[in-house]
Amino acid sequence: MNTLQLKWNDLADVKRELALRDWFPGTSGNLSIKVDDESFLVTASGKDKRKETAEDFLLVDARGSAIDGFAGKPSAETLLHVEVYGKTNAGCSLHVHTVDNNVISELYGEEGEVTFTGQEIIKAFGIWEENASVTVPIIPNYANIPQLAAEFGKYVSADAGAVLIRNHGITVWGRDAFEAKKFLEAYEFLFSWHIKLLMLKGR
């Protein structure tokens, strides 16, 4: 099996698992995986990402333009994935809209970031100190995608990271598909935990 096919299969596996979590409501969400320094696979735009088809992904170049031979259009948010691969050595980038990530982005949107402290799952990010913290930046949801991508790109420097887009969703990237999915799951755990705590405490 060639690299492209292997990467296609890796991304299809992640997509299937996120679909099982129901993290693609209303055709939202987009995923990508790096193939080499010149190209990555990205989900096709506007499709129901719960469905598995032979047209789920397209190969695009480092600027996000479609490479001949693939049906459909690349994700409308491909430029955010371009930022990830252009600025880091990440291998996979995942964007999902969940109710929890939208609620957190709105609750802390004015502060421009949200910090979680003293939660065991923070160890999933490779941070093992007691009472460790993790902070996620929150950016405005610009309708203009090049503007959104430029704002997003300000927070992209490490090979793994995450940015919340206010009342829109989260993009998480990692060195490979395993790491990106692990981090996405850990962030969504923190969001859900935090919201439930706030609700139970009546704040």
SS3 for 63? coil
Stretch that binds Zn ion, among 86-94, 118-126, 140-148, 169-177 (CB under 5 A): 169-177
Stretch that binds Zn ion, among 46-54, 107-115, 165-173, 188-196 (CB under 5 A): 165-173
Interface with ligand L4RZE5RM by CB under 6 A: which residues?
26-30, 43, 45-46, 75-77, 95
Closest CA to 108 of 158, 160, 145, 163: 163
Asked whether position 169 contacts Zn ion by CB under 5 A, the answer is yes
Q: By rule CB under 5 A, what count of residues binds Zn ion?
A: 1
Sequence-distant (≥ 6) Cβ neighbours of residue 100 within 8 angstroms: 188, 191, 192, 195
Query: Does the annotation list 95 as a binding residue?
Result: yes
Under 8 Å between Cβ of 41 and 58: yes
Cβ 51 to ligand L4RZE5RM, closest distance in Å? 12
Name the residue nearer to Zn ion (CB basis): 105 or 122: 105
At which residue do the structure tokens 């397209």 appear?
A: 58
Rounded (5°) CA angle 140-103-81? 45
26 binds, among ligand L4RZE5RM, Zn ion, none (CB under 5 to 8 A by kind): ligand L4RZE5RM
Closest CA to 80 of 131, 26, 43: 43
**Which residues line the annotated binding site for Zn(2+)?**
95, 97
Binding site for Zn ion (CB under 5 A): 169
